[in-house]
Each structure stands twice: as C-alpha cells, then as structure tokens.
Amino acid sequence: MVTIGKTVLAVACCAALAVACGSPAPSEPQPVRSPVAVGSDGAVSSVNPYASQAGIDVLKAGGNAVDAAVATAAALGVVEPYSAGIGGGGYFVYYDARTGKVQTLDGRETAPAAMKPETFLDPATGRPIPFDQAVNSGLSVGVPGTPATWEQALRGWGTIPLSRALDPAIRLAQDGFVVGDQFRAETAMNEQRFRAVTPTTQLFLPGGELPVVGSRLRNPDLAATYRLLAQEGARAVYHGALAEDIVRAVQQPPVAQGADRTFRPGLMQTADLAAYTVAPREPTHSTYRDLDIYGMAPSSSGGTTVGETLNILGNYQLSSADRVQALHHYLEATRIAYADRNRWLGDPAFTTVPTDGLLSPEFGKDRACLISPTATLASPLAPADPNHPASGCPAGVGAAPPREGPSTTHLVTSDRQGNVVSYTLTIEQTGGSGITVPGRGFLLNNELTDFDFAPSTPGAPAPNLPGAGKRPRSSMAPTIVLRGGKPFLAIGSPGGSTIITTVAQTLVNHIDLGMSLPDAIAAPRASQRNSANTEAEQAFLDSPDRAALERLGQRFVLAPPTLSPLPQIGAVEALEFLDGGAVQAAAEPVRRTGGSAMVVTPRP
C-alpha cells in the first residue's frame, strides 16, 4: 500500500508542480466538449468528453453500441470516479435492432449475507444511526455489480471481449486526464472525509492538496486493475486476491491515523462476492401518446415510476399553449407516483412488487382523478393499491419520502446497425463510501444506504428494509422510447431520487411542449417527490411560471447543491433518432460544466 501510494503521489505531484511552474499544458489533444452532435453511423453521449471519445473510438473500430457502452463506462470509472466505477453497480437497457426487442440487466449491488433489517439501527437506542455515519463506513458497501454487468452485456450482445473494451480506459488511467473545474469542485466537497482514508487521500489529494485545475491526474493502480480484468475477466473482482482486498477494505476501512471520524466496519465476506450474479429482467413497458416507453424493472423504481407518471399525464392534453397547467400536472403526477413508489417498490426477490398494476393505464387514470387544475395536493400523499382498481382517488396522508444519494452517471450509445444502449451506473454518494481499495485505484460504493433504515410508519409494510442478499431500491431510470417499433429516444440521468423526475420532465418538455431535445434538456427543472415543497433550480424559481404555479398552491424551495456548488437537478444524456438514419446526440450544456455528445460521422 505504501509503495503504491508513493507512486501515485509522485506522479500526481509532478503534474501539479508542472502546472504551478507554468510549464506547457499536456501536449496530447484533449477531447472537445460539445453538448450536441448530429450525424450517422453511431453516437455517444456522456457527462465527460474523455469517456465519450472512448466509446466513439470503439464504434469507429467496428464495435457496436454495447461495446461502446462498456468502453465509455470504463472510461467514466477513470475520469468520473466519484460517480461510477467497478466498485458500484447499475442498470443496462438494450434495444436489439435485429429482433426489435428491448432487454435489460439488473447489475445492482447486493447486501452481504450477514445484513439484517436492523443493521442500520443503533443497538443502544433502536433508532437509525446518523446518515453520515452510514455513508462513511464499510457497513454501507454493497457487493459491486458493474464488472459482471459489463461482461454479461458483452457476452450476450457485444462483438468484442472485455479485454478490448477496457483498452481505452487502461490507456486513460495510465496516461491521465486533465483536471477540470468540476473534478476539483467535487474533490473539494469530499476533502474532509477523503482525508480520513489513507489510500483515498493518496489518490485524490496529490501531495496532500486538492488537485490543480489543468494538471494531469494519473491512476496507475486502476490501470493495473483494469489489466487484471482484461486478463481474467470480471471474475477477478469476485474471486482471488482482488476480492480479498475489497473485503479487507470493507471490514477494516483503511482509516488514516488521527482521523477525525470513525468508519464502521462492514459485513461483506469473500463468499458474498463469489455469490454475486447479474439479474436479466423483462423491461417495464408503458405507452405515452403514440410512443412505447421501455425502462428498468425492480429492483429499480425508475421504470415503474416514470411509467406511472406518464400514464397519469396521458389523461390530459399538455401543450406549450398553457405551459403553467402542463407544469402543474407534471408536478402533481410525480407527487402521486412517488407516493406509490415508496409504498410498493423493493427487490422483487424479497417482496411482491405489483409492477403490472403500477403500469396499467387503468391505475394511471384512477390516480389522475386526484389532480385539480386549480389546487395542489397536500404531501405526503397516501399511496393507492394497484391490485384493487378504483382505490386511488381518495387522498390520504402518507409517509415522508426516504433519502437517497445524489450521485451516479448516465450514458447512451448507438451504432450503424441501429442497436441502442441506455445505461445508468453509480457508486451512490458523490465519492461513494469514501473508501478506496488500497493499491487498486477505485472507490467502493455506499449503495446500501438506499435501503430504508427503519419502517417509515411503524407496523406498515416496508419493502425496502435491508436483508441478506437483497438489492436496495434505486431511482435509476435508463429509458428507451420507440415509435412504431423503432428507436425514437434513449435517455437517462444521474441525480438520486431526482432521476425519475428529470427523465419525466425532459420527456414532457420534448413530447408535449414541443421543445427540441437540447432545449428540453437545458430547461430549468423542478422535482416533486411527494414532499410539501418542490425542489427547483434557481432558473425555475426566477421564471414567471413560479408565481403562476404558486397561485395554484405549489410551494417551491431551492434544490440543494449536489455534485456542483450550484443547486442543480440531474444531468441528462440522450439520443434522438431522426429521419434518414441520422441521430442527434445531446447532453447537458451547463449542468456539471456540460456533457459531451459525439457522433461517428458528423453531418456536413
């Protein structure tokens, strides 16, 4: 550990020193960051130009959308290590052009076998431990699913082996990337807890200081880890020396001497890693206007809650001619859908999730009767029972919504054959658990904090309590939209529990309000998740819509800062499939300093 740490320190310090002394910027050309690209033969949209370029390079070499998605995701593990990496999990949604079918993989993290419903309770008081103590601990680390997801996706639908898909990320980790404002800001947000963990300090605080904007950050440990995966496959994470290193870091977090916080030991064993499997699942399916909406089934709540929201809105005509009413109905629909999400959604291996009922048009119509064009529902709103039609109209009092981390990242890819991927992956909190596996170059997740620490209402059903081998409920919502059986949109976002509202609002902006896809992504956001107040971005609060909505009873507060010092909601990456085989790749123009959209063959 000491040798590796010194290596990372030396390399990173040299990069920082070179910038400080006014040496020229790195000679290698940096990928250009652009939020919109239009062209053909394949496309990639992600939050980072290095990652998007990795995917485009694979497409140009003859790879397909799945190959490009894995290459992009692996590169994100290098340049966006606080949001994603092989220490986490995610959900993979794939449209197969040959069969016309959408298929999905549930690569969510799982709880170790020793986890119990009361794991996050203080044994002395019986109350939940402080959230911060759960995040910064081995106790919050779930068994990672990302490496297994990459391998299974490539074996089932790709054209290249994992070793080739990892090549761009290996080079990127070895050669390094240029530190930007966003990366430095995210590091600064995590600085105090990172300083509490020795290998995390060594990797992300070179020379004991925040990384310098313009310096080059290298991660030879991660390059070596990726090479190990290239040689042995994903099993290297789940068996052998790397698995033992992961378990040791979880059970005995490598806390720095004199650290000002205690990291609780975790419960993971090597047997938990060896037992991990990716779960293929049928996608969720709903219809909206003339479109087919495909998403991720439980353990994610993304597909059902986006689908229910749109089923509710399908009972109304929304248009830009009455933007205020359109926004009002969108906010009320998500308020209702979140009440049902919090009651019914959990790991389907442990609880009966009424997926078909939640997504039925009849249930959406039943719930839509709650919406008034002149008034706002009170939250927390009570859930309804999709198993019993006509149960959804009486409004009652429900439980407060649970907490969920704001991190995560998303990417979309397509290829010249017409295959499409929408993939959301995460390590949960910005910086995950804060624990870097010594000598391995990646952070471990804190995904198990997505469990409810205790029942929201004593005696009420609690489908999302911790349990052995259980997958915590997620809000990730990778989505593929078909029109006439062909791809129309692929979309998703990071943002914790705001992911669902971000995807839903962007779809409403584009489909109902007639905005172009880039404008639909850029528009100010508001996120109502069955709370008394709706979180909103500053631009939304400054708009004329706010006052008009407040006259209808809507109440707004400024969204909290997440991965940026500024309050922002989500960070969409999307593709739109145009006539004549062209595709428009679109990403955030400003949020998180802007995303990166690329195509193989740009339109002249």
* Integer Cα distance of 84 and 582 in angstroms: 30
E strands within 271-408? 279-281, 284-288, 291-295
374 carries an active-site annotation: no
* Terminal CA-CA length for the chain: 52
Q: Which two tokens stand for residue 512?
A: 């109902």
Ramachandran category for residue 453: left, alpha or beta (phi over 0 → left; psi -120 to 50 → alpha): alpha
DSSP strand pairing (177-178 vs 216-217): antiparallel
C-alpha distances in Å from residue 131, one per residue of 44, 433, 448: 36, 12, 11
Contact 144, 86 (CB under 8 A): yes
Q: What residues form DSSP beta bridges with 89?
A: 426
* Integer Cα distance of 360 and 367 in angstroms: 11
- 529: DSSP letter: S
Q: Tokens 């145009």 — which residue?
A: 578
Contact 236, 242 (CB under 8 A): yes
What is the rounded radius of gyration, in angstroms, for the C-alpha atoms of the chain? 23
Q: Which two tokens stand for residue 492?
A: 């998703």
Contact 91, 103 (CB under 8 A): no
Dmax over CA atoms of the chain, in Å, equals 71
In 3D space, the residue among 375, 396, 414, 494 whose CA is nearest the CA of residue 82 turns out to be 494
CA angle centred on 360, ends 356 and 365, rounded to 5°: 150
* Integer Cα distance of 209 and 201 in angstroms: 9
Contact 13, 41 (CB under 8 A): no
C-alpha distances in Å from residue 18, one per residue of 166, 203, 396: 29, 18, 63
Residues with Cβ within 8 Å of 404's Cβ and at least 6 positions away in sequence, in order, are 450, 475, 496, 497
* Integer Cα distance of 369 and 384 in angstroms: 12
Dihedral, 518, 522, 526, 528 alpha carbons, nearest 10:
40
* Integer Cα distance of 103 and 490 in angstroms: 14
Catalytic residue among 149, 187, 355, 408: 408
E strands within 379-437? 409-415, 420-426
- Helix residue ranges, H only, 374-494: none
Q: Which two tokens stand for residue 202?
A: 């060594």
* Residues that are catalytic: 408
